């Protein structure tokens, strides 16, 4: 099976992506877990909702999307 048919491609320059388990640990390659993204174009928070914002960012500044994904080699 050709993996390229199922990928969304590489992240844009300046964008960091990682896949993390529910405990915050980074997942091994080819594991399904939550997508985290850190980039200049990612929101800085929910408008006037700091208590909600704190729950969607990890300690390294990655926005936790709530979506599942896989990073390959």
Q: How confident is the model at residue 9 (pLDDT cuts 50, 70, 90)?
A: confident
- The residue among 24, 39, 38, 26 whose CA lies nearest residue 70 is 26
Residue-wise pLDDT for 16-39, tens only, equals: 999 999 899 999 998 999 999 999
Q: What's the confidence (pLDDT) of residue 46?
A: 96
| Domain ranges, residue 65 | 3-69
Say if CB 19 and CB 34 are below 8 A apart. Answer: yes
Q: How confident is the model at residue 2 (pLDDT cuts 50, 70, 90)?
A: low
Total domains in the fold of the chain: 1
CATH code for the domain in which residue 16 is found: 2.30.38.10
Whether pLDDT at 8 is above 90: no
Say if CB 33 and CB 27 are below 8 A apart. Answer: yes
Q: Enter the pTM of the model.
A: 0.85
Whether pLDDT at 52 is above 60: yes
Say if CB 12 and CB 37 are below 8 A apart. Answer: no
**Residue 17 forms beta bridges with which residues?**
37
């Amino acid at each position: 099976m050709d993996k390229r048919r199922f990928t969304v491609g590489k992240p844009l320059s300046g964008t960091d992506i990682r896949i993390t388990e529910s405990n915050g640990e980074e997942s091994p390659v080819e594991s399904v877990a939550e997508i985290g993204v850190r980039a200049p174009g990612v929101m800085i928070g929910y408008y006037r909702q700091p208590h909600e914002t704190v729950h969607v960012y990890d300690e390294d500044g990655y926005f936790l999307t709530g979506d599942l994904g896989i990073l390959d080699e």
